[in-house]
Chains A and B, each alone.
Chain A
């Protein structure tokens, strides 16, 4: 069919606007708004003794200064705990503005509103806050030791303890012929989108309504949160996510203190107010992730089969837990990857520290889990002297075992049941792509030349498209154009294109006739948000459902007009016609006109739908029973549970024998996210994920000192890779459609980043001849690991 675009690498329709500087990101709008700036804590843990704003009062253009004392009831309460969980026995959330105590460097204490940001910062500079500094808790070791507490009322700094078990792991380990123990550690990193957070609020006193623009991943939820916090009826609050300059998880959290405060200030001052987060603020006052310490006991037989697996880990959740314990739950469950240990027990503690709060960053606990499981696989291979790929293959869940029930509960509260996937096939493709079987020879040649090269492999399974639901609305206008709206938001995933492809194919119209709106509560009010690689799975299927309803209605109306059986009709390039009889046809635009019986004509098109123009049965109502005027429909998709994508990466590295620099020689990806709607966009998602995986493995870390000071709160020292640090990425795809949804789609957003740390640890270990157990790793660290290894072997 000429209009078919599903599965085609269509160029993105949002690009011309963004490329010519016509995008509208948060700070690109509201130039006349007042600017907000914040006084933030320089201490990791302190009592606020006094706040003196006197000197700030004579700053030009100062509009207002707010502290916690100025906040009304609901705003003065702690911000919501978004995802409660029975195991989260001691959840704590921050205040919009600190009350009495600060728990991390960067926590907001005072909000200043002034004519512009320069002046607002002038005022911030003149505000003196007196602190009584308290000893901070920094790092997992200190949190576990608990000789100091982050929150006085949280014993042991323990926010949550959770255990999941499938089978009797202890017994399985006791019975295992071979047992290994590993200690594995991952440091902090963060999403760090190029655009920070931002909020722009407008209050209409006459209409008593609030319009808020926020650089968020969840506009409908921000609306609900603001309505609740500000005591407004939800229908008086509209939240719009404009163009968003990247999210990667950090913008799913809501409401951020600034979202609430800026909106409240706009109402209080009855003026437009805007806050644009600067880079330093983003480092010290948004969110981080990744920091976990793991202890593993694994039992296996002489063939390398996993008999028992026991994992204990400690998760650093920072100072607060607004997003619950999603990240450690994901680690605990997704750690298993494509493998099927006979018995598995996992236990974690989520611990408070006086550092920036922790919420999901792309991958959301999976990179840590994948790192742990894949290190275990390499350890088993080393122990048995087996090929690393072989050991993995022996433990794969086989295609004929799908759906596979792990006997655990996933992050969405539903059973962890893999829907589909062909792991042996993925591995075969990867080994072929990277030349796995030939590498041994190359390694030996290199060694002979005094060079150190290594190859690494890592496999993962990613639960994508979690519920509860998303919705879509589709309308055919009387000019034949199609409007699509869905509630979730966009941060660069190409929804304008992929969602349009779904609608265009079902409705049989040209792609350029379809326009898509996302993340605007004025256009679609029911939504969850963009996270967990769910956008296309959820909204894609919801839009498909709506489009099918519209198509059915169009065929019905066209059938009446053409006096044909709707089952004999098809839609090609926006024209409904009798299959095989192009002469018997009616444009979709006309069908749209006919779908809305009119009394008044306002143009020649609409004249065809007026009461004297229509041949109508006088005994039937113009709009049939149970129908609505117009060619539009709303559809929802709510899956029973997540669908599970998978992938496998291999990397070849060369480490400098003198400088310990780590050079990436090749990076190969095989990826299976079910049916591909737009391969080009999926490819781009994989590339971006891999780059973040490279960063997480070799460059990026949040370095806190013992006093809770973030030592690298800038792009100068938080080493996000440039183009020169990211390799050329070779990719191949499998398409194992998901049986769970009509389009057979699985999510692809996070895939690329998940195996990063694991695959580099595997490759560097292979090049160096000793195991890497902590990520990320720098040349300086590799240098010292070599020293330690040499000393150990010389002893």
Chain B
């Protein structure tokens, strides 16, 4: 398991990188964390003629928080996001979810924006982006576009990033007041891909009762699935949410596939169970924050 040869490029500015990507087109790949690309290349399932290493580009590694939310740069590592206190304060779900991404050693190198661009339907951060209504900014030579999750996640392992484009930033909107979030997941081994994972956002009304509730799921479809379950729990007391109906709603919505670790039916069952758990926890957190 050794990679094929390639030409290595190490731009130091975004412009340089975009020019390179434009010239190379579909013959090259961007190397940031490389936690997926490198084993792919070692297995010789990937043999790009060019690698563009973006790790030395200034200004791509940052994590900024402002009134709107959290902006994560292209080379910011999962570990940076996990340990960023301001980001946690603004968008608690980021830390709640990223802790489930593989193991710390992988999070030390792997990038959050990269995992979004990878668009693995089992990647926690895809559901976080979709659930929170975040966006990804794509730059190409002489142009830029900003896509919401719906447009960005095209299919399993397919994002909208095109040839010559570089995903430079992911934006996660700040959690609303009186809202709470939670992440629930079942994986075979600690740190493995989720058999099913669910993120939940619950927002309370002035009356401290559930006003709105949504869940985002991974590993149950070709792209992250978001289900609005407000109708199922609206008006309930935040401290004692009866989330079973919401869970059933989720089960009826998702259409998972089977793999060697779990049947489709078990995944569907987990989707409901975990959604209920995540909603209950999120509601409790919302009520704490509202207090």
A and B touch in the complex (CB under 8 A): yes
**Closest CB in chain A relative to B258 CB, distance in Å:** 9
B190 adjacent to chain A (CB < 8 Å): yes
Flag if B273 contacts A659 (CB, 8 Å).
yes
Chain A interface residue number, banded:
20 to 34
Flag if A783 contacts B189 (CB, 8 Å).
no
Q: Which of B56-64, B132-140, B214-222, B264-272 sits within the interface?
A: B264-272
Q: Determine chain B's interface SS by DSSP, over half rule.
A: loop
> Of A703, A712, A783, which is within 8 A of B266 by CB?
A783
Flag if A780 contacts B192 (CB, 8 Å).
no
Q: Which of A349-382 contact B (CB under 8 A)?
A: none
With a CB–CB cut-off of 8 A, which chain A residues contact B195? Answer: 779-780
With a CB–CB cut-off of 8 A, which chain B residues contact A766? Answer: none
The docked-state distance in angstroms from the alpha carbon of A122 to that of B1 is: 11
**Closest CB in chain B relative to A656 CB, distance in Å:** 9
Given contacts A779-B266, A780-B266, whether A703 and B191 have CB atoms under 8 Å apart is no
Flag if A722 contacts B261 (CB, 8 Å).
no
Residue of A nearest to B3 (CB): A118
The docked-state distance in angstroms from the alpha carbon of A784 to that of B263 is: 9
With a CB–CB cut-off of 8 A, which chain B residues contact A658? Answer: 273
With a CB–CB cut-off of 8 A, which chain B residues contact A724? Answer: 189-191
Flag if B1 contacts A722 (CB, 8 Å).
no
Residue of B nearest to A720 (CB): B189
Flag if B273 contacts A699 (CB, 8 Å).
no
The docked-state distance in angstroms from the alpha carbon of A699 to that of B188 is: 8
Flag if B189 contacts A699 (CB, 8 Å).
yes
Flag if B262 contacts A722 (CB, 8 Å).
no
B145 adjacent to chain A (CB < 8 Å): no
Given contacts A703-B260, A779-B266, A780-B262, whether A725 and B2 have CB atoms under 8 Å apart is no
B43 adjacent to chain A (CB < 8 Å): yes
> Of A280, A711, A780, which is within 8 A of B43 by CB?
A280
B186 adjacent to chain A (CB < 8 Å): yes
With a CB–CB cut-off of 8 A, which chain A residues contact B253? Answer: none
The docked-state distance in angstroms from the alpha carbon of A396 to that of B289 is: 62
Residue of B nearest to A281 (CB): B1
Flag if A712 contacts B260 (CB, 8 Å).
yes
A444 adjacent to chain B (CB < 8 Å): no
Most central of B4, B189, B190 by chain A CB within 10 Å: B189
Flag if B2 contacts A719 (CB, 8 Å).
no
A117 adjacent to chain B (CB < 8 Å): yes
Q: Which of B209-267 contact A (CB under 8 A)?
A: 260-263, 265-266
A121 adjacent to chain B (CB < 8 Å): yes
Flag if B1 contacts A279 (CB, 8 Å).
yes
The docked-state distance in angstroms from the alpha carbon of A703 to that of B3 is: 27
With a CB–CB cut-off of 8 A, which chain A residues contact B269? Answer: 783
The docked-state distance in angstroms from the alpha carbon of A185 to that of B268 is: 28
The docked-state distance in angstroms from the alpha carbon of A107 to that of B5 is: 26
A55 adjacent to chain B (CB < 8 Å): no
A717 adjacent to chain B (CB < 8 Å): yes
**Closest CB in chain B relative to A518 CB, distance in Å:** 31
Q: Which of A378-425 contact B (CB under 8 A)?
A: none
> Of B189, B266, B270, B273, which is within 8 A of A784 by CB?
B266
Residue of A nearest to B247 (CB): A658
A125 adjacent to chain B (CB < 8 Å): yes
With a CB–CB cut-off of 8 A, which chain B residues contact A122? Answer: 4-5
**Closest CB in chain B relative to A233 CB, distance in Å:** 37
Write the B166-191 contact mask toward A (1 if CB under 8 angstroms, else 0): 00000000000000000000101111
**Closest CB in chain B relative to A568 CB, distance in Å:** 63
The docked-state distance in angstroms from the alpha carbon of A779 to that of B44 is: 33
A302 adjacent to chain B (CB < 8 Å): no
**Closest CB in chain B relative to A724 CB, distance in Å:** 4
Flag if A125 contacts B261 (CB, 8 Å).
no
**Closest CB in chain B relative to A698 CB, distance in Å:** 9
With a CB–CB cut-off of 8 A, which chain A residues contact B190? Answer: 722, 724-725
With a CB–CB cut-off of 8 A, which chain A residues contact B189? Answer: 699, 719, 721-722, 724-725
Write the A757-789 contact mask toward B (1 if CB under 8 angstroms, else 0): 000000000000000000000111001100000
Flag if A659 contacts B1 (CB, 8 Å).
no
Residue of B nearest to A658 (CB): B273
The docked-state distance in angstroms from the alpha carbon of A725 to that of B187 is: 12
Write the A634-667 contact mask toward B (1 if CB under 8 angstroms, else 0): 0000000000000000000000001111000000
Residue of A nearest to B262 (CB): A780
**Closest CB in chain B relative to A454 CB, distance in Å:** 20
**Closest CB in chain B relative to A704 CB, distance in Å:** 10
A278 adjacent to chain B (CB < 8 Å): yes
With a CB–CB cut-off of 8 A, which chain B residues contact A661? Answer: 186
Write the A702-724 contact mask toward B (1 if CB under 8 angstroms, else 0): 01000000011000010101101
Flag if B44 contacts A121 (CB, 8 Å).
yes
**Closest CB in chain B relative to A760 CB, distance in Å:** 16
The docked-state distance in angstroms from the alpha carbon of A218 to that of B219 is: 46
Flag if A125 contacts B4 (CB, 8 Å).
yes
With a CB–CB cut-off of 8 A, which chain A residues contact B260? Answer: 703, 711-712, 717
Most central of A117, A659, A661, A779 by chain B CB within 10 Å: A659
The docked-state distance in angstroms from the alpha carbon of A117 to that of B5 is: 13
Write the A724-738 contact mask toward B (1 if CB under 8 angstroms, else 0): 110000000000000
Write the A106-125 contact mask toward B (1 if CB under 8 angstroms, else 0): 00000000000110011001
Residue of A nearest to B184 (CB): A659
With a CB–CB cut-off of 8 A, which chain B residues contact A779? Answer: 186, 188, 195, 262, 266
**Closest CB in chain B relative to A305 CB, distance in Å:** 41
With a CB–CB cut-off of 8 A, which chain B residues contact A125? Answer: 4, 44
Flag if B265 contacts A784 (CB, 8 Å).
yes
Residue of A nearest to B273 (CB): A658
**Closest CB in chain B relative to A13 CB, distance in Å:** 31
Residue of B nearest to A280 (CB): B1
The docked-state distance in angstroms from the alpha carbon of A719 to that of B260 is: 11
Given contacts A661-B186, A724-B190, A784-B265, whether A121 and B2 have CB atoms under 8 Å apart is yes
**Closest CB in chain A relative to B64 CB, distance in Å:** 34
With a CB–CB cut-off of 8 A, which chain B residues contact A660? Answer: 266
The docked-state distance in angstroms from the alpha carbon of A722 to that of B104 is: 14
With a CB–CB cut-off of 8 A, which chain B residues contact A280? Answer: 1, 43
The docked-state distance in angstroms from the alpha carbon of A236 to that of B192 is: 50
The docked-state distance in angstroms from the alpha carbon of A117 to that of B3 is: 10
The docked-state distance in angstroms from the alpha carbon of A724 to that of B43 is: 28
Flag if A659 contacts B188 (CB, 8 Å).
no
Q: Which of B261-289 contact A (CB under 8 A)?
A: 261-263, 265-266, 269-270, 273-274
With a CB–CB cut-off of 8 A, which chain B residues contact A118? Answer: 2-3
Most central of A118, A125, A780 by chain B CB within 10 Å: A780
The docked-state distance in angstroms from the alpha carbon of A299 to that of B269 is: 41
Residue of B nearest to A657 (CB): B273
The docked-state distance in angstroms from the alpha carbon of A703 to that of B258 is: 14
Q: Which of B30-72 contact A (CB under 8 A)?
A: 43-44
With a CB–CB cut-off of 8 A, which chain B residues contact A725? Answer: 189-190
With a CB–CB cut-off of 8 A, which chain A residues contact B270? Answer: 659
Flag if A117 contacts B191 (CB, 8 Å).
no
With a CB–CB cut-off of 8 A, which chain A residues contact B43? Answer: 280
Residue of B nearest to A116 (CB): B2
Q: Which of A656-711 contact B (CB under 8 A)?
A: 658-661, 699, 703, 711
The docked-state distance in angstroms from the alpha carbon of A725 to that of B189 is: 7
With a CB–CB cut-off of 8 A, which chain B residues contact A783? Answer: 263, 265-266, 269
With a CB–CB cut-off of 8 A, which chain B residues contact A721? Answer: 189
With a CB–CB cut-off of 8 A, which chain A residues contact B2? Answer: 117-118, 121
With a CB–CB cut-off of 8 A, which chain A residues contact B4? Answer: 122, 125
B→A interface (CB under 8 Å): 1-5, 43-44, 186, 188-192, 195, 260-263, 265-266, 269-270, 273-274
Closest 6 CB pairs of A and B: A724-B190, A780-B262, A780-B266, A118-B2, A278-B1, A658-B273
Question: 12 A-B pairs, CB-CB below 8 angstroms?
Answer: A118-B2, A125-B4, A280-B1, A659-B270, A659-B273, A661-B186, A703-B260, A712-B260, A719-B188, A721-B189, A725-B190, A780-B263
Extra 13 A-B pairs, beta carbons < 8 Å, given A659-B270, A778-B261, A783-B269 = A121-B1, A122-B5, A125-B44, A719-B192, A722-B190, A725-B190, A778-B188, A779-B195, A779-B262, A780-B195, A780-B261, A780-B263, A784-B263
